[in-house]
Chain A
Amino acid sequence: MMLELLTFGILAVIALASAVMVITRRNAVHSVIWLTVTLFAVGGIYLLQHAEFLFAVQIIIYVGGIMVLFLFVVMLVNIDVAVKQARFARQGLVAVVTAALLMAQLGYALYNHGRNLGLPIRPEIPEVSQNTQAVGMVLYQNYMLPVEIASILLLVAMVGAVIMAKRKFE
């Protein structure tokens, strides 16, 4: 319990601090690097909760795929222009007030209704293969149709991205 709390604290601080760095950096390349740190910390949170398969998915797809895509696009577009411009939009004050309201709302709801949400005592720690096995069973038995729909979504997104990034529209 103590060790778990310590690990959680370290990972949570890393995740939140690097998320703040993501939204405050002037250079988009730095933002991408900090976002990678956040994603690693979130993967550690998954591992802490014995969601090993999701941890692997997070590292392979998010860090290995999406972040590389982001980095490619940041390198493709001209960053010198963006670095010189003002970082924050004109509606900054309104946005921060809105976000503070959102945070207050979330905190109020969690504090008043989330306190008795304690996790019950787990009888035993599941093996690594058991998590992957359980996720696979549920994914391909109960969620067969959503898997197919997700594959069609990915196909549509792939075609859409190619058409968007094509040089000329006919």
Chain B
Amino acid sequence: MIHLPADYYIYLGSGLFTIGVIGVLTRRNVLIILMSIELILNAVNINLVALSQYFRSVDGQVFAIFVITDAAAEAAVGLGLIIALFRNKETLNADEIDLLKW
């Protein structure tokens, strides 16, 4: 049985990655920027799994598990930051969060 070439999965991963980058760069809502980061991490995971199948080794899948762990930690801290931010500034607009600008 012949399986799909790894290329297809890598093309899909790069497409998803680009959509995530566009989301991070263009959206104003901080929550949606965080969601775009999740999209980027998923694109990376697709590539890791595709290449782990290509090289016939599960190391890539183990690395993908670590990426998912990091995504969970990042989401917890990021959402905590968003709650603190919303409590202090009453906004989620990334353009209005300029406390460190002068």
Contacts and interface: CB of A to CB of B under 8 A. Distances in A.
Real binding pair: yes
Contacts of B58: 131, 134-135, 138
Contacts of A58: 68
A143 B66 CA distance: 10
Contacts of A153: 69-70, 73
Given A99-B25, A117-B10, A157-B77, A70 B16 contact: no
Among B27, B32, B45, B86, max chain A CB count under 10 A is at B32
A82 B2 contact: no
B86 A77 contact: yes
Given A99-B18, A114-B10, A45 B46 contact: yes
Contact of A39 (B4, B42, B73): B42
Interface string A103-128: 10011001000110111011001000
Contacts of A65: 72
A113 B66 CA distance: 28
Contact of A5 (B4, B11, B46): B4
Interface string A59-91: 001100110011001101110011001111111
A98 B44 CA distance: 19
Contacts of B20: 19, 23
B49 A161 contact: no
Given A23-B23, A150-B69, 5 more contacts: A86-B28, A103-B18, A119-B4, A122-B3, A157-B76
Shortest beta-carbon contacts, A-B, top 5: A164-B80, A95-B25, A23-B23, A157-B73, A161-B80
